[in-house]
Chains A and B, each alone.
Chain A
Amino acid sequence: MPPIPGSGLAKGLAVTLRTMTKRTVTAQYPDVQPELPPRTRGVIGLFEENCTVCMLCARECPDWCIYIDSHKETVPPAAPGGRERSRNVLDRFAIDFALCMYCGICIEVCPFDALFWSPEFEYAETDIHELTHERDKLREWMWTVPEPPALDPGAEEPKEFAAARKTADKLRAAEEARQAAEAQQAAEARQAAEDRQTPGTGTDTGTGPDTEQGGQG
């Protein structure tokens, strides 16, 4: 059956009328802050204490927008007669957000967890030069970094956790084995002492070969 002429027009009218009765979807931004997801790429925050001035972030940055200055300081030896240690001290850490393309590679490559994404996004400036933000500003943004989101139920355990647990399990197993061996040795020693006090009665217990085995465990 061919459509009634003008039914398309009526359908269009119905669509607009229906939309009018629905709630609007406008985000009233300056009045209401948007709810950003935790991994929003707003700005990059710097956790200075973790930074070792390894320069990996600056080297991997495709835009070369990270500026790092540092100097070396020597630390007196920890023990008398020891060797002096040297360590890097951060002088300047700046990111030019006019150049930054928010790829996040610096954050990915940082081996010491010193860089983080912050959802903060209101840092527009009237002059492009003022978009180069220094370490104190990056530090301020660090406090706005949200907690990492909880894993989904049934998700794979993070690599870090798995590695840590493996190491801990190994250490615990070694510790238990050591304790067992100590207990064995103590028991053996006690047995030997008793044997010496009452010769002739304890020889048939046959503990000799067992102690050999326990010592190995």
Chain B
Amino acid sequence: MNDVLDVALRLIIVFAVFLVVPLVVGQTEHKVMAHMQGRLGPMYAGGFHGWAQLVADGVKFAQKEDIVPAEADRRVFQLAPAVALLPYLLVLVAIPVGPGDGAVGQVIDAGIFFVLAVMGIGVLGSLMAGWASANKFSLLGGLRTAAQLLAYELPMLLAAASVAMAAGTVSLTGILDAFEWWWLPWQIIGALVFFVAGLAELQRPPFDMPVADSEIIFGAYTEYTGLRFALFLLSEYAGIVVLCGLTTVLFLGGWHGPFGADGLGWVWTLLKAAVLAFVVIWLRVTFPRMREDQLQKFAWTTLIPLALAQIALTGIVKVAIN
């Protein structure tokens, strides 16, 4: 009985985090983007600096009509947003926030495997949406999504493999237990590759070529309205949370603070993830969208060689230590 309660409580907490934190990231994006562009951003909804803007947006989305195109593959079309969103919720369960078993939804021995495999499903949602919409723009967007998924999954996996090599385990908690401060400079290339490839996985600018609202009018999501469209947007922000959390755990030492105060470990995790989320927004504001061929070239000729070099470096250092 106690175990059931424990599991339920953990799931409820993870679910609450899943609903709240992406909204926080979204609101931060509103504000940070605005100020980086010399404007104010939302100011009215909710009173203080428009804090309720995204809640208001959600209400607006919920009111809109839910349209399924006549020619669409109904079932697939309707399932796609859920397929895009749910993987991030599952990943969130496995991310350790603080030290010990208490601060993680579920300790998984093959943590990295689980996390990366489940994150890979997310892009399936976009593919389903693109195919089922029976619309050439959606199909184009879906195919571009597929191409991008293939291109960027690989460097992401290689970078994560480097950390697993360094720690000698694929468990996320195990990696954090083995973490030493000098991993930071040692794994920096892998960290950059992982982060950038993760951005591309999320189809965030400057890697939002498949979505490209000005060229192929929102790509795979062209036909979506109302709440289903909102779910796609939410999955993007949940993806940011997951990516920043994973980067923190894998490369930045998670709950390890510089002062060794382990009682406040979860604060360090949240702080590092927040800084990374800020960087995600910062990159979006600064850089223009990449062209499809540049995008592919960047993945295959830059990120993958870098990731392989990181693995080689990790291996050399590992052997030298032993």
A interface residue numbers (CB < 8 A to B): 9, 12-13, 15-17, 19-20, 22, 24-26, 28
Contacts and interface: CB of A to CB of B under 8 A. Distances in A.
A15 B283 CA distance: 12
Given A20-B36, A26-B40, 15 more contacts: A9-B286, A12-B286, A13-B282, A13-B283, A16-B285, A17-B36, A19-B35, A19-B36, A20-B32, A22-B38, A24-B34, A24-B38, A24-B40, A25-B39, A26-B39
Contacts of A24: 34-35, 38-40
B191 to A, nearest CB: 16
Interface string B48-60: 0000000000000
Q: How large is the interface on B (under 10, 10 to 19, 20 to 34, 35 or more residues)?
A: 10 to 19
A16 B40 contact: no
Given A17-B282, A20-B32, A24-B34, A12 B39 contact: no
A4 to B, nearest CB: 16
B35 A20 contact: yes
Contact of B287 (A9, A17, A22, A25): A9
Nearest to B39: A26
A16 B283 CA distance: 9
Nearest to A14: B286
B39 A16 contact: no
A20 to B, nearest CB: 5
A25 B286 CA distance: 19
A22 B37 CA distance: 10
B165 to A, nearest CB: 27
Contacts of A20: 32, 35-36
A191 B37 CA distance: 92
A16 B38 CA distance: 9
28 contacts: A9-B286, A9-B287, A12-B287, A13-B286, A15-B286, A16-B36, A16-B282, A16-B285, A16-B286, A17-B282, A19-B35, A19-B36, A19-B38, A20-B32, A20-B35, A20-B36, A24-B34, A24-B35, A24-B38, A24-B39, A24-B40, A25-B38, A25-B39, A26-B38, A26-B39, A26-B40, A28-B40, A28-B43
Interface in B147-203: none
B46 to A, nearest CB: 16
A7 to B, nearest CB: 14
Contact of B37 (A12, A13, A17, A19): A19
A23 to B, nearest CB: 9
A181 to B, nearest CB: 75
Contacts of A26: 38-40
A13 B34 CA distance: 15
Interface string B251-294: 00000000000000000000000000000001101110000000
A26 B49 CA distance: 14
Nearest to B37: A19
A112 to B, nearest CB: 46
Nearest to B43: A28
Contacts of A25: 38-39
A90 to B, nearest CB: 46
A178 B39 CA distance: 72
A95 to B, nearest CB: 35
A12 B36 CA distance: 11
A212 B170 CA distance: 128
Contacts of B34: 24
Contacts of A15: 286
A12 to B, nearest CB: 5
A24 B37 CA distance: 8
A201 B100 CA distance: 137
A20 B35 CA distance: 5
Interface string B297-308: 000000000000
A173 to B, nearest CB: 63
Nearest to A22: B38
Contacts of A9: 286-287
Nearest to A25: B38
Interface in B15-34: 32, 34
Contacts of B40: 24, 26, 28
Contacts of B35: 19-20, 24
Contacts of B285: 16
Contacts of A19: 35-38
A16 B286 CA distance: 6
B192 to A, nearest CB: 11
A12 B282 CA distance: 10
A190 to B, nearest CB: 86
A146 B129 CA distance: 60
A140 to B, nearest CB: 31
A187 B276 CA distance: 104
Nearest to A18: B36
